[in-house]
Amino acid sequence: MRSSKFKIRLLIGLAIVLFAVIKRCSNTEINPYTGREQAINMSSDQEIAIGLQSAPQLTEQYGGLYPNEEFQAFVDNVGNRLVKSSLAKQTPYNYEFHLLSDANTINAFALPGGQIFITYALFTKLENEDQLAGVLGHEIGHVLGRHSAERIAETEYWQTLSTGAAVGADMGNVVSSYGYQTLLTNGRDDELESDDLGVKFMIDANYDPEEMIDVMQILKAAAGPNRVPEFQSTHPDPDNRIEKIKAAIAKYKKAS
């Protein structure tokens, strides 16, 4: 009797796993802007809707918008110049740029669909317009690369695999752990891809891409000597990013 129940559970678990694999394969597509194959399970309209829905809550978490129209206009002008001069203008996304009030958290991030944010803390660390272009170009790269949509699909995939393994052989924790490590690795790749795209956007908009290297130095200095090792972080180490950025600069300058 016990053996029969175990076989039934195993078959159900295998069916769930098979469903996850088939769904993942059927949702694989080529990103027309990067040429990279991705597993995506939502449309660009859904990405835009998620970004718009999430933006107010995230804005509130960072203390709201910084109350200076001149600074906000400056951020808008740089961001829009990057979009209009690059592949980003060919995408269906509505790019909007927001300067957040948080004066302590050095950060910039993008929501799916084109909502892009930079904190006042990072804004004040930047030394010139080109460095701001480097930050915003990197975040535009996340949107164009559909990284959030890819991470959502990846998370759903591993959650389904975890459920199947838990039902079939009580191995859910092992699979979940492996999936989490995979997400971390992919996250680092996303950052490097966005750096690469950011360099291209800067060159297309006639900004100095060398200033992105200085942005990395700023981030490195802000993190201090006790920054988290690269293998424990979702972001590559700034020194590693600098080498990749230098390679991207050489690549795109040669092509132009």
CA distances from 93 to 25, 56, 125, 140, 230 (A): 25, 18, 28, 10, 31
In single-letter form, the type of residue at position 5 comes to K
Q: Structural domain tally of the chain?
A: 1
Q: Quick one: pLDDT at residue 165?
A: 47
The pTM of this model reads 0.78
In a domain? residue 94: yes
| Residue 72 pLDDT > 80 | yes
- Give 70's pLDDT tier (boundaries 50, 70, 90): very high
Considering only residues 44 and 167, tell me which one the structure prediction assigns the higher pLDDT: 44
In a domain? residue 9: no
Considering only residues 75 and 110, tell me which one the structure prediction assigns the higher pLDDT: 75
In a domain? residue 144: yes
In a domain? residue 85: yes
In a domain? residue 240: yes
- Summarised one tens digit per residue, pLDDT across range 87-121 is 999 999 999 999 999 999 998 989 889 999 999 99
Half-sphere exposure of 234 (CA within 13 A, CB side): 8
Parent domain of 44: 20-255
Average pLDDT over residues 30-43: 85
Q: Quick one: pLDDT at residue 242?
A: 92
In a domain? residue 131: yes
Burial (CB count <10 Å: 0-12, 13-18, 19+), residue 159 = middle
Q: Quick one: pLDDT at residue 177?
A: 39
- Give 51's pLDDT tier (boundaries 50, 70, 90): confident
In a domain? residue 161: yes
Other Cβ atoms closer than 10 A to 35: 7
